[in-house]
Amino acid sequence: MQQVNYNEISKIYDDVREADIVLVNHFLEELPGTRHLNILDIGCGTGNYTDLLQKITWTKGWQIYGIDPSAGMIDKARKKNKNILFQRGKAEDLLWAHDFFDFIYMTDVIHHIPDIHRIFSEIGRVLRSQGKVCIVTQSHRQIEARPIAQFFPGTVRVDHERYPNIHEIHAAAQYGGLLFLKQEVLFEGDGIELDEEYLELVRKKGYSMLHLITEQEYRAGLKNLEKALQNGPIQARAAGETLVWFTKE
């Protein structure tokens, strides 16, 4: 499979990924509000979620951390919010001490991790007792339901290969010593609109899976999308996200 250059994607990442306040509020509902917390965003990208979370909780004095292997992503994240401690590094080798974090989350990142058993072992090491973990991802069924799959069916193939299915996440977390708490599905079936802005993002290959299909598949899909949008925006349904929650005894 081809590799994705995330230093290049960092240049347009904020055009594609925005922090969702609904998701952040789901995080906050699970966290105690009465004491200091250390929170880690694994695969933080340009810091969209860390930025929003820090600004919402700044009166609590919580310390937010972010880690990402891409120098381009981390550079943009540091410029966005100087109150967050960002570190360039790999999820499989977290740089913090044992029992350091109260909450760890990953948003649309786990499919980039080559060895999810190792990352869950690392999460289990740096997570405090009674701390919580939230993995935000998509099931294989949700991947198939993405609106983009209608025009680029090859993206289903490549993301079935990249994304661990939900039962694999459960097994890897258990291997790392974590206990399953609950599972949630958000945004599934919500009405969305594919418009000229969406088309521009596709033209820029702002979605990583577009870098992993063949150029022939990409060109054919782009042509079909452009044709479909000639009569105006397309009404579609969101595939949704799956949130898998764990804790540590």
Q: What is the CATH number of the domain that holds 172?
A: 3.40.50.150
How confident is the prediction for the chain on average, in pLDDT? 92
Residue 196 in domain: yes
Between CA 22 and CA 208 the distance in angstroms is 23
d(CA 113, CA 210): 18
Alpha helices in 127-195 (DSSP H): 140-145, 154-162, 166-175
Q: How confident is the model at residue 146 (pLDDT cuts 50, 70, 90)?
A: very high
Asked, for residue 161, whether it belongs to a domain, the answer is yes
pLDDT number for residue 232: 96
Reported as a pLDDT band with limits 50, 70 and 90, residue 36 is very high
Whether residue 38 lies inside any domain: the answer is: yes
pLDDT at 152 over 60: yes
Residue 16 has a pLDDT of: 46
Predicted pLDDT of residue 12: 38
Which residue(s) pair with 191 in the sheet? 237
Is the pLDDT confidence value at 32 over 90? no
Residue 1 in domain: no
**pLDDT given at position 17:** 53
Going through the chain in order, the beta strands assigned E by DSSP cover 38-42, 63-68, 85-88, 101-107, 127-137, 179-186, 191-194, 234-237, 241-247
Confidence of residue 132 (pLDDT cuts 50, 70, 90): very high
Give me the domain span that covers residue 166.
Answer: 6-247
pLDDT in tens, 154-182: 999 999 999 999 999 999 999 999 999 99
Q: What share of the chain has pLDDT > 90, as a percent?
A: 88
**Domains contained in the chain, number:** 1
Beta pairing class for 241-247 and 234-237:
unpaired
Structure tokens at 156: 């289903």
Residues 6+ apart with CB under 8 A from 120: 172, 173, 175, 176, 178
pLDDT average, residue stretch 17-34 = 87
